[in-house]
Structure 1
């Protein structure tokens, strides 16, 4: 007995040594993989994301068994492990068993991708697994034990439909010339090992699934992660990136692969940022220093949901959708427009109509959309501009007989025309440094009108500040202005200059507070704006207006410390006259980056 026991132990030791040696070989192999976010230059990054910045318009699809419930995907499940009562409508057991009746016989991805292509979309992102853990492909990864009440793989193969939907979507996108992106939720509210202990079992599961999506369902252009939570040490994010780039060296990754994790080491913060930002269901601020993409619900519900099919969702109008796309383009970003197929796989008639309605507009103005950059004027409620070389494309939301008067560019205007070359009246005034353009009635588009401005030189930088002539002087009655020279600085920031031209610089310390006395003499609802600059991402500001009143705002990358940009923070109501303090402070996380204010 003793001899047998010893031989058994010796065999186990030998096996452990062999496994450890193999792991070291794998680690050495992975370390040879180039993870671009950690090693590339700014020029290399810009070249790698160029196709994305040129693409402008993508299709997002949220779908799955949740559509049968009519409740929000994942969030509609009761007794979930995250967040509050919002959206919770479907008992957990009922939600988890929706897969039994999921048989979308009318799903036609070729038709959907053809509609997207005609609508002007150039890439697609499909939800392969949401927070509920259901996989829409025939995954080989096991998530539940054999004796569980749910299928071992919990995937599309367990439904009456059985067809591999992710494979179908990939083929349809490629057949229609669209680049392929997979959405994957790292957080998983039904996996029994999710965030248990050191999370090692779940790490293995989800990383293997990501490898499946890249290896077996490629080539893949984008991996669109959706947040994970817990501690950095509970995940192996560097290993994940190495695995991904070993399979797909040209892959783009959004900014959510590690977002939400605590205590990220400084040398790996770039992996949290990924390649581009993803403002959700809101228009991103003008940001030329870094790629971004607003993901927008086409048929939102009153509770701010509507990513997956909701019977109560109201589809946006064609005009609103086109203006959202125009605002993204002129803000130097992209729009990822979400559609939510019905339980049978077909598109609701209203969403199909929007895709069809987009086609004539994007076809007419394609020169002003794709391959352009946002600017040189900052966009706003009036519209915006995009440019390429020495051509500027002016996007005007509501042109009228009075025309639009803009602050003049440094370059001279040689001509203003329609997209097919017809001359448009304009006046360039050197004395007032203004440019006035009047679009004739017959050339106005009912959604967004675009005209082409040709300059005598190439565009040379963004004109931060007011775009409309006289806008800064046309103060709304009751406007309150808080200047740096009047502020009390509590911390390490520095006041530079004097009077109206003073600025706050070197705001490096996340503990610093900027304070002004706030006198509310006229009760009402106030719009709140900041005038700031930043050269790096990840600064989040909170604006306090006394007890219980505050607004949050992400500070966009403006290009340089001297490029100040107006950021719309939100609105705040003051029902009574009051004497308060207005306080600016960073949101308390480790990733605060310096900003400047004026």
Structure 2
């Protein structure tokens, strides 16, 4: 108001045009007629130009194979990423509900590889842009942060290759407030088209139904690493332990991996009480220790060390409990130097300092033979296996899909000209053709209905989304998916006295997955004796109690009929019911109401808060949205699920 008064006291020069006067007025009251100008917010990124001469700000736990270089675009320094797979990552805070542009100057050494700029964890789908040019090139990404999120994860990635990538001059520009969300109509759900790769087709929708209906599973990372308090499942790699030392400590009868209190039926009972419908136990992790009876002469197993086949005990108990039986298996093994040097003439970077040697090629072949023997054993000798979580099909801990397919023969058949042939006694041949079966050939022969993921050189029936970052973006229609996170904060394998995610956090993780049509596989980490820690059990039991009340909004549902809005709401449906998942970040939470998207000509007959069964008032608005009243968001502040019953199916 004072600005207007001050302007009224200014004598106007009659020579000034009316337009000029208006411009002066706008300037004085700080309300320009044009749109808000962009604002440089690069200062939100620590060391965005790398001119500190070090990786300050970028020393995130995922940053690896990165170093500072003087080969800069501007200034003195830039970051060099690689060779092989390298990442440079930083978490930062930005404005919520805002439009941004991020840019960087990137280049490669060879032009045959690429460098990627990636943004994620801002409430939308991960976005990336890349360049393979050998001269610094500016690339940029526009993105919109969610109303309920002020996070941003910036990643600079050199995916693979012998060369390196370079990045410099990261810039972040605020472009203004995000527009208000538009009202959505029912989305059209595309027909799933089965993919075929390497002679094997994905499972049909009918065979996948159980997996999508279950929605919630228990992941279990358990092995000899549980006896190493200083680390987790990667402890041998992280501490650079040799095999002899690692094995000796694992076998120690006092402090080693004893499994003295292991009872698979107790694990299954805990999973059921948690509301989980399937389980997946690590039959072998990257350290190569198998929890079953392997006949390969190089194998290291629980049967040899402890006289017990834990996978037999586990599969019998889980099957008897009525849960779906799942396993995890890692084809990679740190026990073989050849894993890093499959050709015997080009060793890749490794923590053990292995140097290239011709015998590494034969060593890699032995590693492959052990995998074929063990995978065949798991598929043949343990009854029906419903699910397999492959992990570690990459070689040298480097992503190289072409080499993975060449080496492992992951499809229907093995290549008769493969440079790493599998010995006859570890081969299974197809009856009618006599051809030796590849990994997926073995799967479809012995476990034809088993669901598998994509981490072993084949497209997979489902795709894994790993890690503690929030599940965001649109509904997954192109492929079925599964989010896996560890309940224990900091590693998948047991570590003593580690904090865990709260029940409320787990509830949001699960709901965020369901509204996007993917499963949640939640990991527990039993100790060296086989006991799941009390703090993990407590969260699981609270989750199970919650699911006993709101389970209809989770089990058997699909994501839709509208796209979710991160941190505010999402939807699932089943037959004639729509479930509204409302989060504590919902912008109208304090109103005690919730307004849906457009119902079109669909009619609502009833609305209920699933948690307490209370029927709620509602009204259909002129724009075909429905406003639900008297919602008690305090019953479960993390996520409230409202059940809307329609007079007809959601999709007819």
Task: Please give the TM-score of this superposition, normalised by the length of structure 2.
Answer: 0.56
Note closer, same or farther for the CA distance 1:99–1:40 as it changes in structure 2 (3 Å cut): closer
Aligned match for 2:579, one of 393, 411, 420 = 393
1:69-218 equivalences in 2 (<5 Å): 69-78=228-237, 87-88=238-239, 90=241, 93-101=244-252, 102-143=257-298, 153-159=299-305, 161-191=306-336, 194=339, 195=342, 196-197=360-361, 199-218=364-383
> Alignment partner of 1:50: what SS?
helix
Instruction: Give me the CA root mean square deviation.
Output: 2.5
Deviation at 1:197, TM superposition (A): 2.6
Quote the residue 2:409 is aligned against: 236
Q: Distance in 2 between matches of 1:255 and 1:207?
A: 18
Q: Deviations over 1:140-196 (max 9, x none)?
A: 1122xxxxxxxxx3111233x332111111112112111111101011111355434
Aligned match for 2:629, one of 438, 444, 449 = 438
> Alignment partner of 2:225: what SS?
helix
Quote the residue 1:345 is aligned against: 530
Deviation at 1:222, TM superposition (A): 1.1
1:164-563 equivalences in 2 (<5 Å): 164-191=309-336, 194=339, 195=342, 196-197=360-361, 199-230=364-395, 231=403, 232-238=405-411, 239-258=438-457, 272-281=458-467, 282-284=469-471, 285=473, 286-301=475-490, 306-311=491-496, 313-379=498-564, 380-398=566-584, 399-410=589-600, 411-419=602-610, 422-431=614-623, 433-441=624-632, 444-460=635-651
Higher helix share: 1
Note closer, same or farther for the CA distance 1:175–1:65 as it changes in structure 2 (3 Å cut): same
Note closer, same or farther for the CA distance 1:439–1:324 as it changes in structure 2 (3 Å cut): farther
Q: Distance in 1 between matches of 2:313 and 2:493?
A: 19
Note closer, same or farther for the CA distance 1:92–1:140 as it changes in structure 2 (3 Å cut): closer
Note closer, same or farther for the CA distance 1:360–1:406 as it changes in structure 2 (3 Å cut): same
* 1:59–1:121 CA contact under 8 A, matched in 2: yes
Deviation at 1:321, TM superposition (A): 0.8
* 1:373–1:386 CA contact under 8 A, matched in 2: yes
Q: Distance in 2 between matches of 1:72 and 1:439?
A: 49
* 1:428–1:435 CA contact under 8 A, matched in 2: yes
Q: Deviations over 1:30-87 (max 9, x none)?
A: xxxxx97667888x62122111111100000001111111244452224xxxxxxxx4
Deviation at 1:105, TM superposition (A): 0.9
Deviation at 1:412, TM superposition (A): 3.3
Q: Distance in 2 between matches of 1:57 and 1:439?
A: 30
Deviation at 1:391, TM superposition (A): 0.7
Deviation at 1:280, TM superposition (A): 0.3
Q: Distance in 2 between matches of 1:225 and 1:299?
A: 21
Deviation at 1:445, TM superposition (A): 2.9
Note closer, same or farther for the CA distance 1:175–1:283 as it changes in structure 2 (3 Å cut): farther
Q: Deviations over 1:242-286 (max 9, x none)?
A: 12211111111111111xxxxxxxxxxxxx221001000144443
* 2:579–2:643 CA contact under 8 A, matched in 1: yes
* Unaligned runs of at least 5 residues, structure 1: 1-34, 79-86, 144-152, 259-271, 462-598
Q: How many residues align?
A: 390
* Unaligned runs of at least 5 residues, structure 2: 1-194, 343-359, 396-402, 412-437
* 2:575–2:651 CA contact under 8 A, matched in 1: no
Deviation at 1:439, TM superposition (A): 4.3
* 2:212–2:518 CA contact under 8 A, matched in 1: yes
Quote the residue 1:546 is aligned against: none
Q: Distance in 1 between matches of 2:492 and 2:633?
A: 38
